Amino acid sequence: MQIIRRVEEMKAILKDNKETIGFVPTMGYLHEGHLSLIKESVKQNTFTVVSVFVNPLQFGPNEDFDTYPRDQEKDAKLAKEHGVDYLFMPEVSSMYPEPLGYDITVKQGADVLCGRSRPGHFDGVVTVLLKLFNIVRPTRAYFGMKDAQQLAIVDNFSNQFNLPVEIIGLPTVRAEDGLALSSRNVYLSEEEKKEATYLSKALFNGFKQFQDQHKSGTIIEEVKDTINQNTNGNIDYVEFLEYPSLKGVSSSTQIFVLALAVKFEQARLIDNIIFTKERILNRFERKDD
Ligand code: AMP
């Protein structure tokens, strides 16, 4: 495995490559969730590129950019062990050598869920991904369904701008107790870690309730009750929407997302499940082109 720290170098290596390139963009502090994406990429492609870049553009002024967990050495070790060919860990100054003269504004799907709580977040996400896609030129890019809104927005962005990359969404990897793995989990206290298991419990109960009744009725309230009764976290949102449009649910909705964000003392956690009337989905890929 090679570690690349400069944009030009990364581009030069990948330039004339005819083989398939799988790309897994991350903010590092790698865990089994990231590794599941890496494994799939290694399986499906000739080369796998993983980026570790904590992108300042997607953090608001009072968010955790400075304290976001980082461990490049461990990330490099894990990437190497899992067959990654190139680990791209650019400095901020290499990615943004000068102030950007352009704004990308996400107008579709950004007014709900995290987009509403974190204004500008998805503008920063698609901006960095556009740059990363142009640098790496991946055949396929892998995203976790853990960040369901991000996946929907990136898939739509890529589709609307005809980016030559296939977007693949893979299921959320959870600890045995159901807690969705996240780099931010390190900031949970032992007590909060136990409490946080109620996030996924509440979501899976919500799905069960939906299956029993086939209507959304009180799902959101029940999810909120479960969280309020079992945790000291503050609910940022619980929403039930159509996926991947992220519009309100209607009688023609085929795929649903039940998603939440809860703030604990030092970490804001998100989780969701994506399902049809019959089952929970564990892969997301655009099928129509
Ligand atoms: P992050 O480093 O948090 O920006 O995440 C990088 C990628 O890994 C994103 O596509 C995430 O959705 C994905 N990811 C993070 N946590 C998980 C998880 N628990 N299961 C599956 N994918 C994940």
pLDDT digits (tens, 9 = 90+) for 128-165: 999 999 999 999 999 999 999 999 999 999 999 999 99
Q: Is 41 in the pocket of ligand 1 (CB under 6 A)?
A: no
CB count within 10 Å of CB 136 equals 25
Q: Give catalytic residues, as residue numbers.
A: 34
Q: Is 14 in the pocket of ligand 1 (CB under 6 A)?
A: no
Among 147, 151, 165, 283, the mutation site with the greatest number of ligand 1 atoms within 8 A of its Cβ is 147
Strands (E), 64-217: 86-88, 140-144, 166-170
Percentage of the chain with pLDDT > 70? 97
Q: Is 172 in the pocket of ligand 1 (CB under 6 A)?
A: yes
Q: Is 200 in the pocket of ligand 1 (CB under 6 A)?
A: no
Q: Per-residue confidence at 17, pLDDT binned at 50, 70, 90?
A: low
Is pTM beyond 0.85 here? yes
Among 29, 36, 37, 68, the mutation site with the greatest number of ligand 1 atoms within 8 A of its Cβ is 37
Question: Nearest CA to 259 among 273, 248, 249, 276?
Answer: 273
pLDDT digits (tens, 9 = 90+) for 78-122: 999 999 999 999 999 999 999 999 999 999 999 999 999 999 999
* Structure-token match 């330039």, residue found: 15
Ligand 1 atom, smallest distance to 182 CA: 16
